[in-house]
């Protein structure tokens, strides 16, 4: 691999190289949420309109925000998890005849190419294991309910053991064609910008529930994608963040 691969990425994804996208060519846009087994038993999350979280003020949240790697043994409630998901990826509105979604975070072209997976350790009412958040339904899809998945994720993240101490670790994967359909290769840049928007909302939302988060970008891409059954090309992990009650 070239030692200048980063420079090459920045050069080849410049706006001038975009060319005609699949959207420009009139090809149908990809689905705004990946498919799942419709016969699966989903877990209801508390409705957004019923959630009552502490209002700490935006300035307080911003000034208090910092990366937290030590967490107490206190469990999150389902209401708190519902709130965090609402702040980071939940669908507020479907617009333009179903072509776009409005959410609480910005995304290039409203593409919202992320799918949210949750490594649950300490959330009341949920078994430990891996879940997928269904943003359109505001529900959880259980995937693998065991503690081994936590050990595997920790290993793939360079043995960052605080992941195992978190109440929940958010894992954001990209459905890349959702972004490339509109922006071609430049879409890879936008994914990483979008990841920052999502994770910062998690940091700020955590302050309202006396919790703290720590973003994680140090992970073995291939190993983590394999653990989560992603092909690494069409769907792959972009970012993670552990979160728990402050000790």
What CATH number did the domain enclosing 168 receive? 3.40.109.10
What is the distance between the alpha carbons of residues 154 and 142, in angstroms, rounded to a whole number?
19
CA-to-CA dists, residue 230 to 115, 134, 164, angstroms = 12, 17, 22
Which residue from 11, 209, 34 is spatially nearest to 137, judged by alpha carbons? 34
Whether residue 214 is contained in a domain is answered as: yes
Asked if the structure places residue 5 within a domain, the reply is: no
- Tens of pLDDT along the chain (247 residues) come to 578 999 999 999 999 999 999 999 999 999 999 999 999 999 999 998 888 888 899 999 999 999 999 999 999 999 999 999 999 999 999 987 889 999 999 999 999 999 999 999 999 999 999 999 999 999 999 999 999 999 999 999 999 999 999 999 999 999 999 999 999 999 999 999 999 999 999 999 999 999 999 999 999 999 999 999 999 999 999 999 999 999 8
Number of structural domains found in the chain: 1
**CB-neighbour burial class of residue 48 (10 A; exposed 0-12, middle 13-18, buried 19+):** middle
Asked whether residue 9 is domain-assigned, the answer is no
Residue 115 belongs to some domain of the structure: yes
Q: Has residue 105 been placed in a domain?
A: yes
* Domain span holding position 65: 39-245
Q: Is residue 6 included in any domain, yes or no?
A: no
Could you tell me if residue 163 is inside a domain? yes
Nearest Cα residue to 107 out of 198, 168, 243: 198
pTM: 0.96
């Amino acid at each position: 691999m070239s030692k200048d691969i980063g420079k090459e990425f920045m050069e080849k994804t410049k706006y001038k190289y975009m060319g005609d996208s699949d959207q420009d060519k009139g090809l149908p846009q990809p689905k705004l949420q990946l498919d799942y087994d419709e016969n699966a038993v989903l877990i209801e999350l508390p409705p957004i309109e019923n959630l009552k979280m502490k209002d700490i003020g935006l300035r307080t949240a911003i000034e208090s925000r910092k990366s937290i790697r030590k967490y107490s043994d206190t469990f999150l409630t389902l209401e708190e998890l519902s709130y965090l998901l609402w702040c980071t990826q939940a669908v507020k509105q479907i617009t333009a005849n179903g072509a776009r979604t409005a959410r609480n975070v910005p995304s290039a072209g409203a593409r919202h190419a992320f799918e949210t997976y949750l490594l649950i350790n300490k959330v009341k009412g949920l078994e430990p294991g891996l879940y997928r958040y269904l943003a359109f339904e505001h529900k959880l899809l259980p995937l693998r309910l065991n503690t081994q998945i936590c050990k595997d994720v920790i290993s793939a993240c360079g043995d960052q053991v605080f992941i195992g101490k978190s109440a929940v670790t958010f894992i954001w994967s990209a459905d890349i064609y959702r972004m490339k359909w509109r922006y071609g290769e430049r879409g890879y840049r936008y994914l990483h910008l979008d990841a920052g928007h999502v994770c910062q909302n998690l940091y700020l939302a955590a302050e309202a529930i006396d919790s703290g988060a720590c973003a994680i970008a140090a992970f073995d891409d291939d190993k983590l994608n394999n653990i989560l059954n992603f092909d690494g090309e069409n769907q792959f992990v972009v970012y993670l963040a552990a979160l728990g009650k402050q000790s």
